[in-house]
Chains A and B, each alone.
Chain A
Amino acid sequence: MSKSSRWERLEALFDQALELPAAERVGWVRMQSWNDPALGDEVLAMLTAHDGQEGVLDRAPPSLLDTGGDLTGLAEALADKYVLEEPLGQGGMGSVFRAYERKHDRRVVIKVLRPEVSLLFGADRFKTEVELAARLSHPHILGLIDSGDADGYLYYVMPFVGGETLRTRINRLGRLDVGEATVLLRDLADALAHAHAAGVIHRDIKPENVLCVGGHAFLMDFGIARLASAMSRRTGVGIVLGTPGYMSPEQQNGDAFDHRTDIYSFGLVAREALLGKPDEAVGFASRPEVPPPLTSLITSCLDADPARRPSTASAVVGALDELAAPLVTTPMPVLKAMPRRWPWIVLAILAVVALLVVYFSTRPGKLDPASLAMPVVAAPLRNETGDSALGMIGRLASDWITQGLQQTGRMVVVSWPAAMDAADRAAATGASLLETLRTETQAQTAVTGSYFLVDNSLRLQAQVLDATTGSVLGAVSPVEVPRDSIQRGVRMLRDRVMGLLAVRTDERLRDVPGMLERPPTYEAYRAFDRGIRLYNAQDYGEAARVLRESWSLDTTFLVPLVYAATAAWNRGQFATTDSLVKVLRARQNSLSEYFDLNVAYLEHLLAGEGDKAYQVVRHAATLAPGSRAPYNAARLALLTNRPSEALTLLTTMDPDRGLMRGWQSYWTQLSHALHLTGDHERELTAMREMRRRYPDSRVAIVLEARALAALGRHEALDSLLAATEALPPDTYWSQAAVLVTVAEEFAAHKTGVPAPYQARAIRWLANQLAHNPQHRAHRYWMGSAHYDSGRWRDAEPYFSSLAKEFPDQIDFVGLNAVIVARLRDSTAAFAALGAAAPYERGTWAAYRARILAISGDTPQAIDLLSSALLQSVNGWPWWHASALRDLGLMAQDSRYQRLMRGE
Chain B
Amino acid sequence: MTPPPTTSGEVSRLLDQLRGGDREALDRLFPLVYQELRQAADRVLRREMKGHTLQPTALVHEAYLKLAGGPIGSENRAHFLGIAARAMRQVLVDHARRRRAAKRGGGDAAVSLSDADGAIDVQSDELLALDEALNRLAGESDRLRQVVELRFFGGLTEEEIATTMGVTTRTIQRDWVKARAWLHKELASGRGP
Q: Give Cα distance in the complex from A90 to B177, angstroms.
A: 25
Set B45, B141, B189: member contacting A69, Cβ < 8 A = B45
Q: Give Cα distance in the complex from A7 to B144, angstroms.
A: 12
Q: Given A95-B116, A118-B51, does the pair A61, B96 have CB atoms closer than 8 Å?
A: no
Contact B56 A64 (CB under 8 A): yes
Contacting residues of chain B (88-141) with chain A, CB-CB under 8 angstroms:
88, 92, 95-96, 99, 112, 114-116, 118-120, 123-124, 126-127, 129-130, 140-141
The interface stretch among A50-58, A435-443, A657-665, A841-849 is A50-58
| Residues of chain B with a CB closer than 8 A to A72's CB | 114
Instruction: Assess whether B74 is interfacial by the CB under 8 Å rule.
Output: no
Instruction: Assess whether B72 is interfacial by the CB under 8 Å rule.
Output: no
Instruction: Assess whether B174 is interfacial by the CB under 8 Å rule.
Output: yes
Sort chain B's interface into a size bin. 35 or more
| Residues of chain B with a CB closer than 8 A to A52's CB | 184, 188
| Residues of chain A with a CB closer than 8 A to B81's CB | none
Most chain A CB within 10 A, of B54, B61, B155, B189, is at B54
Q: Given A60-B55, A86-B115, A87-B118, does the pair A73, B178 have CB atoms closer than 8 Å?
A: no
Q: Given A50-B177, A116-B55, does the pair A67, B184 have CB atoms closer than 8 Å?
A: no
Q: Given A61-B127, A65-B54, A89-B119, does the pair A49, B47 have CB atoms closer than 8 Å?
A: no
Contact B182 A46 (CB under 8 A): yes
What is the CB-to-nearest-CB distance from A842 to chain B, in angstroms, rounded to a whole number? 59
Number of interface residues of A (CB under 8 A): 51
Contact A67 B96 (CB under 8 A): yes
Most chain B CB within 10 A, of A50, A86, A239, is at A50
Q: Give Cα distance in the complex from A120 to B92, angstroms.
A: 22
User: Total A-B pairs in contact (CB under 8 Å)?
Assistant: 151
Q: Give Cα distance in the complex from A89 to B118, angstroms.
A: 10
Chain B at the A interface: SS class: helix
Set A18, A116, A152: member contacting B50, Cβ < 8 A = A152
Contact A73 B185 (CB under 8 A): no
Contact A61 B44 (CB under 8 A): no
Q: Give Cα distance in the complex from A114 to B59, angstroms.
A: 13
What is the CB-to-nearest-CB distance from B64 to chain A, in angstroms, rounded to a whole number? 12
Contact B184 A15 (CB under 8 A): no
Which residue of chain B has its CB nearest to the CB of A58? B180
Q: Give Cα distance in the complex from A449 to B58, angstroms.
A: 80
Instruction: Assess whether A117 is interfacial by the CB under 8 Å rule.
Output: yes
Instruction: Assess whether B187 is interfacial by the CB under 8 Å rule.
Output: yes
Q: Give Cα distance in the complex from A120 to B57, angstroms.
A: 13
Contact A62 B51 (CB under 8 A): no
Most chain B CB within 10 A, of A47, A56, A120, is at A56
Instruction: Assess whether A36 is interfacial by the CB under 8 Å rule.
Output: no
| Residues of chain B with a CB closer than 8 A to A151's CB | 50-51
Q: Give Cα distance in the complex from A3 to B136, angstroms.
A: 13
Instruction: Assess whether B181 is interfacial by the CB under 8 Å rule.
Output: yes
Contact B148 A57 (CB under 8 A): yes
Contact B178 A14 (CB under 8 A): yes
Contact B55 A114 (CB under 8 A): yes
Contacting residues of chain A (38-84) with chain B, CB-CB under 8 angstroms:
42, 45-50, 52, 55-58, 60-73
Q: Given A14-B181, A62-B123, A69-B44, does the pair A7, B53 have CB atoms closer than 8 Å?
A: no
Q: Give Cα distance in the complex from A7 to B180, angstroms.
A: 15
| Residues of chain A with a CB closer than 8 A to B119's CB | 66, 87, 89-90
Contact A45 B185 (CB under 8 A): yes
Instruction: Assess whether A808 is interfacial by the CB under 8 Å rule.
Output: no
| Residues of chain B with a CB closer than 8 A to A237's CB | 57-58, 61, 155
| Residues of chain B with a CB closer than 8 A to A50's CB | 177, 180-181, 184
What is the CB-to-nearest-CB distance from B189 to chain A, in angstroms, rounded to a whole number? 7
What is the CB-to-nearest-CB distance from A545 to chain B, in angstroms, rounded to a whole number? 55
What is the CB-to-nearest-CB distance from A343 to chain B, in angstroms, rounded to a whole number? 30
Contact A11 B178 (CB under 8 A): yes
What is the CB-to-nearest-CB distance from B53 to chain A, in angstroms, rounded to a whole number? 4
| Residues of chain B with a CB closer than 8 A to A119's CB | 51-53
Set B51, B56, B57, B88: member contacting A115, Cβ < 8 A = B51
What is the CB-to-nearest-CB distance from B80 to chain A, in angstroms, rounded to a whole number? 16
Instruction: Assess whether A856 is interfacial by the CB under 8 Å rule.
Output: no
What is the CB-to-nearest-CB distance from A775 to chain B, in angstroms, rounded to a whole number? 37
Set B50, B130, B148, B155: member contacting A238, Cβ < 8 A = B155
Contact B177 A238 (CB under 8 A): no
Which residue of chain B has its CB nearest to the CB of A4? B140
Contact B152 A116 (CB under 8 A): no
Which residue of chain A has its CB nearest to the CB of B122? A90
Q: Give Cα distance in the complex from A48 to B181, angstroms.
A: 8
Contact B57 A49 (CB under 8 A): no
Contact A45 B189 (CB under 8 A): yes
What is the CB-to-nearest-CB distance from B12 to chain A, in angstroms, rounded to a whole number? 22
Instruction: Assess whether B41 is interfacial by the CB under 8 Å rule.
Output: yes
Instruction: Assess whether B157 is interfacial by the CB under 8 Å rule.
Output: yes
Task: Known A-B contacts: A67-B99, A120-B53. Give 13 more (CB < 8 A).
Answer: A14-B178, A45-B185, A46-B181, A50-B184, A55-B187, A56-B183, A63-B54, A64-B41, A65-B54, A67-B123, A120-B58, A151-B50, A153-B51
Instruction: Point out residues on B near A: beta carbons under 8 Å.
Output: 41, 44-45, 47, 50-59, 61, 88, 92, 95-96, 99, 112, 114-116, 118-120, 123-124, 126-127, 129-130, 140-141, 148, 152-153, 155, 157, 174, 177-178, 180-185, 187-189
5 inter-chain pairs at a CB distance below 8 angstroms, sorted by A residue, are A18-B177, A64-B56, A67-B95, A237-B58, A237-B61
